[in-house]
Structures are given as structure tokens and as C-alpha cells.
Structure 1
């Protein structure tokens, strides 16, 4: 699996974890609601404190009377950056009759906002990660199919560039662009490799590189960058700027019909 695919799996795992935590909190609230009793309560204080990031937060403290006439005071488990209630405000309360100190302010923001946030972020991470992992697996299957039954041609490297469109852990990928003629159509096209997370040391303009093309006019292809020919005289680290190269003299070369647009990578 590609590096992007592995990153997608990590995102998907974190997504499932966040969604699972949100679902667990949600089910806990539903279970509490099923065994609780409703009562009328009053906000008696808005507790002001600083959290671990030194931000000012407000936590409502409420009081209510249970079915036996006993008064109970409890602090909400949910805080906000601005006061969500006013002192003296009447509120709906749910409490466990077997343990009246276990009580909640019965509002969506106090009971369900946190699990909804967890599930929303979890779903987003799962969607992004699952999409990246699925795309990587699909690409791997297409590559395997092309290597097994596609048309293998020898392409010529026409460009090696750094692709800044996607960065993982602050790193950008490299791509190799090769031109090759499709043996069935006689069309000369540029084909771009998958992302390479290490600089392709020694791969210069004019070097050969295998390109696998689909049969029957389909646009799938695979540039086999791992088996590109390399100039042994190059000794450059991955963090160095590639040396200047000069395109080979291709005068007199016959290409047939030529297309400079990019195809679709496997």
C-alpha cells in the first residue's frame, strides 16, 4: 500500500475511534434518560474557572428538589466559553432516583452536543481516510492487472519534478513524467508516475522507464518508476536540489501522432 494509503488507514482508525467514543457517550445518555426522573431546577451559580489552556470557562451549578422533597445541588459536566445560563434561570433536570446526586440539565447542548461533535469529526476522518485507503487499494489492483496483462513499452523520462499539491508530515512527493507511444494507436503521450516519497536519485531526462498501458484504448496506465534506468554518476541525497540536466538531442526522431496531455495513472 502507498504512503498515502497508509495515512488514510490511520485517519480511518482515528475516525472510528472518535465516532465510537461519541456513540458510547450518546448511548450512555440514552440509558441514563431511561432510568431517570424529571424535575424542575434552578441555576444558582455560574462557576467561572480556567482550563488547562488558561481559557476562561463557565460551568452551570443547579439545584432541584427530588420526589421525596430533598434538595440537591450538582455541577454540570459540560462547560462553555461564555455563560450558557443566567443565575436564577429555571431549567429542566433529569436525575437518577437511586442516586439523586447523578443529575443532568436536560438540554441538547448539555447532554448531546459533545457526542455529536465526536461522531461528526469521527465520520469526517473515516470518510477521508477510507477514501484515501480505498483509492490506494484500487490503484494497487489496477497496477497489478496492467503488469500482468497490459502493454509494456519503454518510455523516455522528459521531466522529474516535486509535487507540492499533497504534503504528508511536511514532506512533498516527487513525480516522473515519461513519454511513450501507444503501440495500438501510435499516439505519443506524457504519462505521470504515482507519488514518490523519496527523490528518484539518478533518474534524469532522457533515461528509459517502463510504462504499462491498458489495451483497447482504455486510459489506465502505470509508470514503473522503481525500474527506471539510472545514471550511476549521480550521487545526490534526497534533501538536495536535483542537479541541472540537459535534454538529449532528439532530432530526427519520429513520434507519429503526438499528445502532450496527461493520461490517468493507475
Structure 2
């Protein structure tokens, strides 16, 4: 399971970074298009339909006149309902020496690809970065507790699945243990981090070390270093 999580971290991060690189490329391409584009008024002469996930999107077919004659193009942006009416006039931008490369003069037609790529890039990269950051903070917290925390000898009470959490339908195992404060006689319960295999065969002892933050027993780490490396 740790291998799967590691792969997911890299996949989200790489896909997100790739989308952001595409956004930069699209921005440069769109900017270059605008620098040499001529403006003219075109007319919506019809629609091309595109079906995605059961929804029909209407892409306007625009006809316009350039110095080289009449041309038409299908807008890359579709909507439902249609954003324009047949016969409606729209502003068109086109390359003077390549009039077949034309776009409707609207924000989303010009910059929609950049907006979508940036949004997807930020979402995917943020998820990947957050997964890496959570793992880093978890390791730092564990190291700090084992280095500066107070060590308690707790009694193992059970090895069970955590039904409150699952990944792809799988529930991880946890080792639960208890420790009684000798001064207050208060009973404290601790739970290990998630273990993605059944560790029962490796739990041959009754006691387990728990490292706690001095003065705050809610911040702790149950020492499962006796398990195979794939446990943590």
C-alpha cells in the first residue's frame, strides 16, 4: 500500500506540473496569435454538436470575410445551451496570412485552454505536494517524539482493522494499547499508525513503547519499529 501511495504522490505531482507547463505553452501560443491577428465581424451560420458524458455541446460555426475571400471555422468552445443564435454577429480574430486559424473574440475562446490547464495543474500539483508534505511532517513528528518525547511502556490490548478509514475498499490494521498513569491512575488509550498488512504474527510481546509529548499525552507515537519496513 505504501508503494501505491508513493506512486500516487508522484503521479499527481507530475501530472499537475505537466498541466502547468502546458498552460505556459498555451499562453505563449495565444499571445503570439493575438499579436498578428486581424479583427472582423463574422456570422454564426450553424452549429457542430459534440457529446460528452451524455451532454450535448453546441460549437458555433462562424463564417467571415477576409482579404483572401470568405472563410468559416468551428469554435473550439462549445456550450449547453448554445452561447449564440444562428445569424448572430460575432467579433472574429484571425491570422492575416492563415485565415483558417481564427477564433471568436471572447475571453474563454482566447484564454479558455489556459484557464482550464492552470486550474487542473494547480489542483493535481497541490494534491501531490500535500501528500508529500503530510508524509514529511509525519516523519518529522515521529523523529521528534522518539528523540525528545517521554517513553511509556503500554500494554497491548488488540490488533484490529480500522473500520473508520479505507483506501480502495481496504481497511488498515492498528495496534491499540493502554497505559495507566501511576500518579493519577487515569487510563490512557493509544493507537498506532496505519499498518497495511495483518501484523498479528509479529506481535509476540505484551508491552509496547509509546513516545509522548511531555505535558500532552494526545501527541504520541506508538513504536512499531519491530514490524517489517512496509508497515510504516
Question: Partners in 2 of 1:177 and 1:120 — Cα distance?
Answer: 42
State the match for 2:16 in structure 1.
Answer: 15
Give the C-alpha shift of residue 45 in structure 1. 1.5
| CA distance 1:153–1:54, change in 2 (3 Å) | closer
State the match for 1:223 in structure 2.
Answer: 222
Q: Tell me, yes or no, if the aligned pair for 1:4 and 1:136 is still in contact at 8 Å.
A: no
Q: Deviations over 1:6-60 (max 9, x none)?
A: 6344323322223333343233222211221211111111123556x67644221
Indicate the RMSD between aligned Cα atoms, in angstroms. 3.2
| CA distance 1:60–1:132, change in 2 (3 Å) | same
State the match for 2:230 in structure 1.
Answer: none
> Which one has a larger percent helix, Structure 1 or Structure 2?
2
Q: Deviations over 1:208-235 (max 9, x none)?
A: 222222345475321122427xxxxxxx
Any residues of structure 2 matched to 1:105-144 within 5 Å, and which?
Answer: 105-144=104-143
Q: Tell me, yes or no, if the aligned pair for 2:145 and 2:220 is still in contact at 8 Å.
A: yes
Question: Partners in 1 of 2:45 and 2:60 — Cα distance?
Answer: 8
State the match for 1:44 in structure 2.
Answer: 45
1:146 aligns with 2:145: yes
Q: Deviations over 1:174-230 (max 9, x none)?
A: 2222223568998642122111111222367983222222345475321122427xx
Structure 2: 5+ residue runs without aligned partners?
228-232
Give the C-alpha shift of residue 4 in structure 1. 4.8
Q: Tell me, yes or no, if the aligned pair for 2:159 and 2:200 is still in contact at 8 Å.
A: no
State the match for 1:102 in structure 2.
Answer: 101
Question: Partners in 2 of 1:25 and 1:38 — Cα distance?
Answer: 21
1:62 aligns with 2:69: no
1:199 aligns with 2:198: yes
Structure 1: 5+ residue runs without aligned partners?
229-266
Question: Partners in 1 of 2:183 and 2:19 — Cα distance?
Answer: 51
Question: Partners in 1 of 2:3 and 2:188 — Cα distance?
Answer: 25
| CA distance 1:218–1:120, change in 2 (3 Å) | same
| CA distance 1:164–1:114, change in 2 (3 Å) | farther
Secondary structure, in 3 states, of the residue corresponding to 1:171? coil
Question: Partners in 1 of 2:164 and 2:14 — Cα distance?
Answer: 24
Secondary structure, in 3 states, of the residue corresponding to 2:140? helix
1:90 aligns with 2:89: yes
Q: Tell me, yes or no, if the aligned pair for 1:157 and 1:205 is still in contact at 8 Å.
A: no
Work out the number of aligned pairs and report it. 226
What's the TM-score once normalised by structure 2's chain length?
0.79
Q: Tell me, yes or no, if the aligned pair for 2:174 and 2:191 is still in contact at 8 Å.
A: yes
| CA distance 1:77–1:11, change in 2 (3 Å) | same
